[in-house]
Structure 1
Amino acid sequence: MTTATTRLSKQARREQLLDTALTIVRAQGADGLTLLTLAEAAGVSRPIVYDHFGTRPGLLLALYQRLDERHRTASAQALREAAPTPDEIARVLSTAYFVCATDMPEWNAVSAALKGNPEMEAIEHEMIDGYTDLMAAALLPHSGLTPEALRLRCVGALGAAEAIATELHRGRTTVADAVTALTDLIVGSIDTGTGRSAIDGSRL
């Protein structure tokens, strides 16, 4: 075990530990993930795990951020490959959102385990801001709204996406219908030609 632990750089070791932590959560849920179970599953000593994450909440927070990074990377890649039309951009963003909601169930498990953690709230705000900025930047060339007005609508669209995701998790809709609904909401929230919002009129 000593030879194995010295073979990786600190960053590579952290990535390996997070990969192992993700495997544990997928198999056992977030309750099965502790610093001890991670050390045992990764074949390293407990001090190595403590050195990387400090506490169980620290480990869960790092894993949550890892999942968010993976989601944003996939979304950005999909946007680079999308046709430059508002409908297609909205569809790609919607698809990426619900693929995350369905293909990464460990996201919800980790989030639930961190409920009430003050650091988690700050990280969630940062994540929402980052995804909002990604969405707004992609849609801006196709909108007549000001950047500020468009960003606010993206905030609203993400709120709607969360509500639709809840319906999806409860089995009340399908991924296809969820993607269609969110796509329509995104496209309907931007103004593609007049420089005005259908709701706010000339005030924008």
Structure 2
Amino acid sequence: MTTGSTRLSKPARREQLLDTALVIVRAHGTDNLTLLSLAEAAGVSRPIVYDHFGTRPGLLIALYRRLDDRHRTASEKALRDAPADPREIARVLSAAYFTCATDMPEWTAISAALKGNQEMEAIERELLDAYTDLMTTALRPYSGLTQEALRLRCVGALGAAESMAAELNRGRTTATEAIAALTDLTVAGLAPETEGAIRT
């Protein structure tokens, strides 16, 4: 993994460092990721790593943003390819969510490592808002709810998705079951409350 002798542009070096950092987290956990361990694994000097990330929280935040970018890109691609049908829209969003949750288990570990960090909390809110907006926009044509009501239900669905992803990563459910459950939950949330109410 030593590529320090190769002269890279600054953006390319940053990508190489983030790739290496993800390998460290996946193999050894976030506790073993430091600026020093990253420099050693990447075969570069410590000042290069400090120049890119400044601090360990800065490195972890950069990793978190990168994983979120991958998640969002996968979701946007899934939406572009999906038929114009509410259940299919909900299904592809659910499938993209759980694919990222299983392919990128370090996402949760990085978030946990940054608990209590004010900058990270602000970034998590920002990214959750952006993903909620993506989901709301995709489902809006199929819902009789107001924009505000639909968005709130999307927030609830994403909270449920996070819990389901934890179950999936613990081996307590399968991806197929999680996708089906989140799809059902999302579709059920599209209708106004009165339509789903039990009539007596």
Q: Which runs of 5+ in 1 are unaligned?
A: none
How far has the Cα of 1:103 moved from its partner?
A: 1.3
Classify the secondary structure of the residue corresponding to 1:116: coil
Deviation larger for 59-68 or 172-181 = 172-181
Deviation larger for 49-58 or 160-169 = 160-169
The answer on whether the counterparts of 1:190 and 1:197 sit within 8 Å (CA) in structure 2 is no
The answer on whether the counterparts of 2:4 and 2:42 sit within 8 Å (CA) in structure 1 is no
**What amino acid does structure 2 have at the position aligned with 1:162?**
E
Classify the secondary structure of the residue corresponding to 2:144: coil
Pair 56,149 (structure 1): closer, same or farther in 2 beyond 3 Å: same
Identify the residue that residue 86 of structure 1 maps to in structure 2: 86
Report the Cα distance in structure 1 between the residues aligned to 2:153 and 2:86, rounded to whole angstroms.
14
The answer on whether the counterparts of 2:90 and 2:186 sit within 8 Å (CA) in structure 1 is yes
Pair 104,3 (structure 1): closer, same or farther in 2 beyond 3 Å: closer
Deviation larger for 11-20 or 160-169 = 160-169
CA distances 1:109-165 after superposition (whole Å, capped 9, x unpaired): 212211221111111101110110110111111112222221111111111112222
The answer on whether the counterparts of 2:14 and 2:52 sit within 8 Å (CA) in structure 1 is yes
The answer on whether the counterparts of 1:18 and 1:63 sit within 8 Å (CA) in structure 2 is yes
**What amino acid does structure 1 have at the position aligned with 2:57?**
P
Classify the secondary structure of the residue corresponding to 2:39: helix
The answer on whether the counterparts of 1:86 and 1:139 sit within 8 Å (CA) in structure 2 is yes
Task: Report 1:104-123 matches (<5 A).
Answer: 104-123=104-123
**What amino acid does structure 1 have at the position aligned with 2:144?**
G
Report the Cα distance in structure 2 between the residues aligned to 1:26 and 1:172, rounded to whole angstroms.
21
Identify the residue that residue 147 of structure 2 maps to in structure 1: 147
Structure 1 runs, 4 residues or longer, greater than 4 Å off: none
Normalising by the residue count of structure 1, what TM-score does the alignment of the two structures yield?
0.89
Identify the residue that residue 131 of structure 1 maps to in structure 2: 131
Aligned length: 195
2:194 equivalent to 1:198: yes
